[in-house]
Amino acid sequence: MVRINENYLKLKAGYLFPEIARRVNGFLAENPNAPIIKLGIGDVTEPLPAACREAMAKAIDDMGDRANFKGYGPEQGYAWLREKIAVHDFQARGCDIDASEIFVSDGAKCDTGNILDIFGKDNTIAVTDPVYPVYVDTNVMAGHTGEADESGKYGGLTYIPITADNDFVAQIPTEKVDLIYLCFPNNPTGATATKEQLQAWVDYAKANGSIIFFDAAYEAFITDESLPHSIYELEGAKDCAIEFRSFSKNAGFTGTRCAFTVVPKNLTVTASNGQAVQLWSLWNRRQSTKFNGVSYIVQRGAEAVYSEAGQAQIKTLIDFYLENAAIIRRELQAVGFDVYGGVNAPYVWVKTPAGLSSWDFFDKLLINCNVVGTPGSGFGAAGEGYFRISAFNSRENVLEAMKRITTTFQ
- Vertex 14: Cα angle to 244 and 381 (nearest 5): 65
Q: How open is the CA angle 180-182-185, to the nearest 5 degrees?
A: 180
For position 254 contacting ligand PLP by CB under 6 A, the verdict is yes
Side chain identity, residue 8: Y
Residue 237 in 3-state DSSP?
helix
d(CA 113, CA 125): 13
Shortest gap between Cβ of 110 and ligand PLP (angstroms)? Answer: 6
Query: In sequence order, which ranges of 172-238 are alpha helices (DSSP H)?
Result: 195-208
In the sheet that holds 386-390, the strands lie side by side as: 339-341, 347-351, 386-390, 374-375
Part in contact with ligand PLP (CB under 6 A); list of ranges 59-67, 102-110, 172-180, 374-382: 102-110
Verify binding: residue 311, ligand PLP, rule CB under 6 A. no
The reply on whether position 107 binds ligand PLP by CB under 6 A is yes
Which alpha helices (H) appear in 266-357, and where do they start and end?
Answer: 279-290, 296-303, 308-334
Q: Choose between 197 and 370: whose C-beta lies nearer to ligand PLP.
A: 197
Contact between 186 and 379 (Cβ < 8 Å):
no
- Residue from 42, 130, 301, 376 in contact with ligand PLP (CB under 6 A): 42
Residue 325 in the binding site for ligand PLP (CB under 6 A): no
Q: Cβ closer to ligand PLP: 325 or 405?
A: 325
Stretch that binds ligand PLP, among 103-111, 194-202, 228-236, 268-276 (CB under 6 A): 103-111
Helix (H, G, I), strand (E, B) or coil at 103: strand
Residues in the chain, how many?
410
The residue (of 364 and 386) whose beta carbon lies closer to ligand PLP is: 386
Stretch that binds ligand PLP, among 101-109, 139-147, 168-176, 189-197 (CB under 6 A): 101-109
Is 321 a residue that touches ligand PLP (CB under 6 A)?
no
**Which of 29-37, 46-54, 105-113, 193-201 is the region at the interface with ligand PLP (rule: CB under 6 A)?**
105-113
The footprint of ligand PLP (CB under 6 A) covers: 42, 107-109, 132, 183, 187, 215, 217, 246, 248, 254, 259
